[in-house]
Amino acid sequence: MGAKERKERQKTEMREAILSAALKLFSDDGYDTVTMRKIAEEIEYSVGTIYLYFKDKSEIFFELHNRGFAEFFQKQLSVQHIKDPLERLIAHGTAYVQFAIDRPEYYDVMFISRTPSKEINKSKHWTEGERTYDLLKLNIKQAMEAGYFKDVDIEVAAFSLWSFVHGISSLFVRDRMMMVPAEAIKPLVTGALKFLERAY
Amino acid sequence: MGAKERKERQKTEMREAILSAALKLFSDDGYDTVTMRKIAEEIEYSVGTIYLYFKDKSEIFFELHNRGFAEFFQKQLSVQHIKDPLERLIAHGTAYVQFAIDRPEYYDVMFISRTPSKEINKSKHWTEGERTYDLLKLNIKQAMEAGYFKDVDIEVAAFSLWSFVHGISSLFVRDRMMMVPAEAIKPLVTGALKFLERAY
DNA sequence: TCAGAAAATAAACAATGTTCAGCAAAGGAA
DNA sequence: TTCCTTTGCTGAACATTGTTTATTTTCTGA
């Protein structure tokens, strides 16, 4: 009898429903303008029900945070097949920014939002983040071996490149480009990515 | 009789007290963990009193936002006496990051925090921001005339440099550098600023 | 001194996250 | 089937938020 399995399935389905409702609402507004009651209304259950599936609001946040990183890491990996180290590195940066543009709600949660509690730091949540950072350093190292980045410390190079793409992404996500006409944003972003090639 | 004047003075003193209490609290936690009651407690008045001096909580936010930009602009100007265009530009970027490090609470409010309402966009609050952006473009233009930044669009260069220093600053301010040991952060930041010289 | 104005307060309101006593449906045992 | 237990869900309640308002206190100017 598959009653146990069905129960199990329903449980995960409910969790999924809550998470996707929350993510949908997060996209429109920020973390704290999304209310538990709105999420409840979205999934057509009462408020209390959510607490049967998640300890509290920040657990929903963390779960989305995790999923964001998983998807993010996959996107970063998708570039590793490129042979030329420099091209690969550029594609790596482009994929980074593209992720922020495609999934601003995730990017926000992952890299910009104030973490609801300090626990997220140093916790397992960040191992995913470190994996992508290690990937970046690997790509830089290989670019170095191919003759680029002469006389640059690898840590400095990694941090610099990360700062650069994060700067672009977060200005975009948090809407701080109002001095730029809307139609000029896209070319500006690609232009900026090209600009950094000069430093290689 | 100077009763009018005294009243006036007391009024501005009260505003100052509220603002500095708010800024102090903002530094410790973020915008929304600071409550009106905490501010009231800090200045030893009741909650309602604050509303006699500020329309609502976001007006306090805006006022700090404005002051942040004023101080920021001054800091940027302090670098203009440097003769060599390239040196000046580097000092400009360094001053930017230094402002974020010295005044993280302002930097957060100015460039990272989600704006409480959309009004801040396109409003007079941002004219200050545009002034510093224009200053950056001016410095870039002069660096170009001195032979740097060959074949780069000035808008792209400005956006790239801004993204870079903003990336550094916001990673620092929002504490997303946990993969880096604390004592390595400072050298990394200065290293990153030096790194960008390669693109000139 | 005293009436009116100004400033400050405390209580109240609606909306938030969270908890919990109770209810209803489902499942299993007789 | 019938009864009891378990499970899932609800909706009211609580504390805490920003904000408003009726009331009280303090000050001002004659």
Three-class DSSP category at B180: coil
Measured from the CB, is A34 under 7 Å from any atom of strand C? yes
Average pLDDT over residues A44-58: 94
The minimal CB distance from A155 to the residues B30, B155, B188 is found for B188
Closest protein CA to C1' of nucleotide C19, residue: A48
Residue B156 to residue A188, Cβ atoms within 8 A: yes
Measured from the CB, is B48 under 7 Å from any atom of strand D? yes
**CB count, 10 Å around CB of A36?**
17
The minimal CB distance from A32 to the residues B32, B153, B170 is found for B32
Protein CA at B7 to nucleotide C1' at D29, angstroms: 15
Residue B12 burial (C-beta neighbours within 10 Å; 0-12, 13-18, 19+):
exposed
* pLDDT over 50 at A1, yes or no: no
At A178 the pLDDT is 67
pLDDT tens, position by position, A122-156: 455 567 778 888 999 999 999 999 988 888 899 99
At A134 the pLDDT is 92
At A5 the pLDDT is 75
What residues contact A87, with CB distance under 8 A and at least 6 apart? none
Residue with tokens 């936010």: B61
Radius of gyration of chain A (CA): 20
Q: Indicate the DSSP class of residue B115.
A: P
Phi-psi region of B63 (alpha: psi -120 to 50; beta: other; left: phi over 0): alpha
Question: Average pLDDT of chain A?
Answer: 85
Question: Which residue did the predictor score with more confidence, B125 or A82?
Answer: A82
Residue with tokens 């977060």: A170
Residue A156 to residue B180, Cβ atoms within 8 A: no
Averages of pLDDT over each 10 residues, chain B, 200 residues: 71 94 82 90 95 93 86 92 91 90 81 62 63 91 90 89 91 78 81 81
The token pair at A165 is 């793409």
Contact A173, B112 (CB under 8 A): no
Three-class DSSP category at B119: helix
End-to-end CA distance of chain B: 63
At A116 the pLDDT is 52
Average pLDDT over residues A164-189: 83
The token pair at B6 is 């005294």
Of the ranges A69-83, A111-125, B182-196, which one carries the lowest mean pLDDT score? A111-125
Return chain B residues 1..20 having CB < 7 Å to nucleic acid strand D. 1, 3-4, 6-7
Among positive and negative, which fits the CA dihedral B143, B149, B154, B160? negative
Q: What does the buried/exposed string (b/e) look like for B58-93 if buried means 16 or more CB atoms within 10 Å of the residue's CB? A: bebbbbbbebbbeebeebbeebeeeeebbebbbbbb
Measured from the CB, is B47 under 7 Å from any atom of strand C? yes
Residue A130 to residue B179, Cβ atoms within 8 A: yes
- Taking the C-alpha atoms of residue A190 and residue B79, their distance in angstroms, rounded to an integer, is 30
At B1 the pLDDT is 46
CA angle B9-B12-B18, nearest 5°? 140
Residue A148 burial (C-beta neighbours within 10 Å; 0-12, 13-18, 19+):
middle
At A84 the pLDDT is 92
At A110 the pLDDT is 83
CA angle B119-B121-B127, nearest 5°? 115
At B103 the pLDDT is 83
pTM of the predicted protein model: 0.82
Radius of gyration of chain B (CA): 20
Question: Which residue did the predictor score with more confidence, A74 or B124?
Answer: A74
**CB count, 10 Å around CB of A29?**
13
At A136 the pLDDT is 92
At B124 the pLDDT is 56
The minimal CB distance from B196 to the residues A32, A160, A178 is found for A160
Chain centre distance of CA A117: 18
Model confidence at A52, pLDDT cuts 50, 70, 90, reads: very high
- Taking the C-alpha atoms of residue B121 and residue B119, their distance in angstroms, rounded to an integer, is 5
User: Mutating which of B163, B165, B180, B194 best tests the A interface, going by the most A Cβ atoms within 10 A?
Assistant: B163
Question: Which residue did the predictor score with more confidence, A123 or A121?
Answer: A123
